[in-house]
């Protein structure tokens, strides 16, 4: 993609986050920024980009942290995978026959499903 994702003014603040965006998230960022500029009349362009990036971070916390909790069903029980690579986690899940339910913020999963503390282990 040759189109810049955001105003150059924002790059020092968002550079590493922007490198973690997948195609869908890049599209969401650019569309939201354009909507803010055209429909809402927000100016300057750097503000549109910053507000759009905040929305992407809210919707996709993995972009900020690099960590995702993948909720899935396996043998009728709900479980979670914690990963720094969503594609790899999805591939692994398909390999073991699990069905993805959602990709979630790990903080929310630990808080809501495990009472603020969880023990991690590896899959064999």
What secondary structure does DSSP assign to 32-49, as a single string? HHHHHHHTS---SHHHHH
Helix axes 23-38, 45-59, angle to 10 degrees: 140
More confident residue, 19 or 110: 110
Domain ranges (residues) in the chain: 8-64, 68-114
- Other beta carbons within 10 Å of 51: 15
Mean pLDDT computed over every residue of the chain: 85
What is the phi-psi region of residue 21: left when phi exceeds 0, alpha when psi lies from -120 to 50, beta otherwise? beta
Q: Which two tokens stand for residue 16?
A: 């590493």
Q: Is residue 105 a contact partner of residue 67, using CB atoms and an 8 Å limit?
A: no
Q: Give the whole-angstrom CA distance, residue 79 versus residue 76.
A: 10
Average confidence (pLDDT) over 93-116: 93
What average pLDDT score do residues 88-94 get?
Answer: 92
Over residues 56-71, the mean pLDDT reads: 85
Task: Pull the structure tokens for residue 32.
Answer: 């939201």
């Amino acid at each position: 993609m040759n189109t810049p994702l955001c105003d150059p003014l924002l790059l020092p603040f968002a550079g590493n986050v922007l490198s973690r965006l997948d195609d869908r998230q890049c599209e969401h960022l650019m569309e939201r920024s354009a909507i803010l500029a055209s429909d809402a009349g927000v100016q300057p362009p750097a503000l549109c980009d910053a507000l759009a990036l905040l929305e992407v971070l809210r919707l996709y916390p993995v972009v900020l942290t690099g960590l995702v909790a993948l909720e899935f069903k396996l043998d009728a029980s709900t479980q979670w995978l914690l990963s720094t690579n969503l594609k790899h986690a999805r591939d692994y899940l398909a390999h073991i026959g699990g069905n993805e339910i959602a990709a979630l913020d790990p903080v929310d999963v630990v808080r809501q499903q495990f009472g603020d503390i969880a023990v991690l282990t590896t899959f064999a």
